Each structure stands twice: as structure tokens, then as C-alpha cells.
Structure 1
Amino acid sequence: MNRSLFWTTFATVFLAEVGDKTQLAAMTATVRSGQIWTVFLAASAALVCATAIGVALGGVLFRYIPEAAIKWAAGCAFIAVGLWVLIKG
């Protein structure tokens, strides 16, 4: 296992997830239910599944689409979602 890649990926995903809607949803579910471990396990399983889909899809996409095109598409998608949130919010 490539330790440098592991820690870079860990740090990137951790920083991206801290304070996002997923974390807020988990906090809300915990407050409403009081079921700390159930919410923790469910949220962890959901993150693992979402990450697995991202890794699998990324592996396929990078075989057929240049990396630069994927970065542009991802950047445009983030901007579009941000604008949508600002306009709808």
C-alpha cells in the first residue's frame, strides 16, 4: 500500500467532509433519535458506499476521458451546485 497516497487521500476526503451537509445530517439524526451508534454506523456505511461508487466510476472514466476534461466537468458541476444553492436558498 502506498502510504503517501493513503494519507493524502485521507486528508483530502476528511477536509472535504468536515462541516458539509452529510455531517450536519448525521448530527441532526443523532439529536432527533439519540441513537449515536446507529447513526454512526449508518452514516459510515453510506460514506463507504458512496466512496466505492466514486472509485469505481473514476476508474472507468479515466480509461476513456482525459483527466483535464474530468476536472473541468467536476469544477463546473461544483459551481453549478453552488449557484443553485445560492439562488434557491
Structure 2
Amino acid sequence: MEAFLISTGLVALAEMGDKTQLLALLLAAKFRKPVPIIFAILFSTIVNHALAALVGQWLTGLVSPDVMQWILAISFIAMGVWMLIPDKLDDESESVNRWQKYGVFATTFILFFLAEMGDKTQIATVALSARFDSLIPVVMGTTAGMMIANAPAVIIGDKMANRLPISLIHKIAAAIFFILGLAIIVESYIH
């Protein structure tokens, strides 16, 4: 349960103001069909984060537990730093126009999957999966976190998103990543 809850909370916070949340807003404004957009985000996230969690599991078998602890500690601290750098939507409207011929669901699925590649939340999923060595709860948690952040963005659009204290949310997420990284370091010295 710990893996699920931490994964959900971290990803929900990390996703606030992230480029995929901005993409969700763009898709909602472009298509004005929230149901297929939300389902496409859900399925895209499940596939993307399942692959990321598998990489995390694979990494735990590749290196010794001592080395993995240091990799995870550094990864979480680096994620904390990365959270303090605001994301921008790199002219995704061109991509939307290029893919829209495939329909709302396919366009959203493809663009969301591609935008999530190498994104903060995908890398966090790799690290969380390696940290907790628990594939299903981590994927369920990170997917829930993505939906907590993105479904409302699709439904209420940018009117409400502009009112959220994104900078504060990013600072809280960064602090949590820092704490996780430091906790791993402290834990390695205790054992």
C-alpha cells in the first residue's frame, strides 16, 4: 500500500504544470471531447508507466542493492532539482494537427505517450519501481497520480489550472523527492 500511496502522491504533484498536463489542456481545447481524451490518457499512461516500471525492476536485478540505493538516492534528489525547473509546451499544436486525422482517442494516446517519454513522471516511475520493488502498486499509483492531475485539466480546462499555485506545488514535490533521496542515504548508513 505504501508503494501505491507514495507513487500516487508524488506523480500527482509532479504532474502539476508538467508538459503532459499542458498537452491535456491543449487537447481538451482542440477537440472538446473529454471522455475519449481521458480514456486515451489513462491507457497511454498505463502502457508507458508499465514499461517504465519494468525498467525499474530490471535495474534492480542488474546492480547490487548497495549500488541501487545510491542510484535511487541520486535519482530522487535529481528529480527534486528537476521539479524546480518549469516545463514548457514545445509547440505541441503542430503535433496535434498532424495526428488529428486519426481521431481524438488515437491522437491523444500517441501524443501523450510520446510526451511522457523521458518525462519527470516516467523517470519517477522507474525510480519508484526500483525503490519499492513492486511493479503493480507502483504502476497503479503513478497512473492514479497522472489521472488526478490530468482528468480535471481536461474537464475544467485552463480556467482552473491558471488558479493553481503551480510554483508552490512544484516546491512541495521537489521537497518530497529530496526527502526520499535523503531517507535512502540515511537508510544505507543505518543498515
Whole-Å Cα distance in 2 between the matches of residues 30 and 59 of structure 1? 34
Normalised TM-score (structure 1): 0.71
Residue 9 of structure 1, aligned match among 7, 10, 18: 7
Report how many residues are paired. Answer: 78
In structure 1, give the amino acid aligned to 2:58.
Answer: V
In structure 2, give the amino acid aligned to 1:52.
Answer: A
Aligned to 2:33: 35
The equivalences for 1:1-89 within 5 A come to 3-65=1-63, 66-67=67-68, 68-69=70-71, 71-72=73-74, 75=78
Whole-Å Cα distance in 1 between the matches of residues 26 and 73 of structure 2? 32
Whole-Å Cα distance in 1 between the matches of residues 59 and 30 of structure 2? 39
Whole-Å Cα distance in 1 between the matches of residues 56 and 50 of structure 2? 10
In structure 2, give the amino acid aligned to 1:59.
Answer: Q
Normalised TM-score (structure 2): 0.36
Q: Give structure 1 regions of 4+ aligned residues with deviation exceeding 2 angstroms.
A: 69-76
Cα separation, partners in 2 of 1:49 and 1:33, compared to 1, 3 Å: same
Whole-Å Cα distance in 2 between the matches of residues 15 and 51 of structure 1? 16
Whole-Å Cα distance in 2 between the matches of residues 73 and 10 of structure 1? 18
Q: Any idea what SS the aligned residue of 2:39 has?
A: helix
1:14-43 CA distance string (max 9 Å, x none):
111122011110110110111111111111
Cα separation, partners in 2 of 1:61 and 1:46, compared to 1, 3 Å: same
1:63-85 CA distance string (max 9 Å, x none):
11332235546839x86xx6xx8
In structure 2, give the amino acid aligned to 1:69.
Answer: I
Deviation at 1:54, TM superposition (A): 1.0
In structure 2, give the amino acid aligned to 1:29.
Answer: L
Deviation at 1:6, TM superposition (A): 1.7
For the aligned residues, what is the CA RMSD? 2.3
Whole-Å Cα distance in 2 between the matches of residues 48 and 33 of structure 1? 22
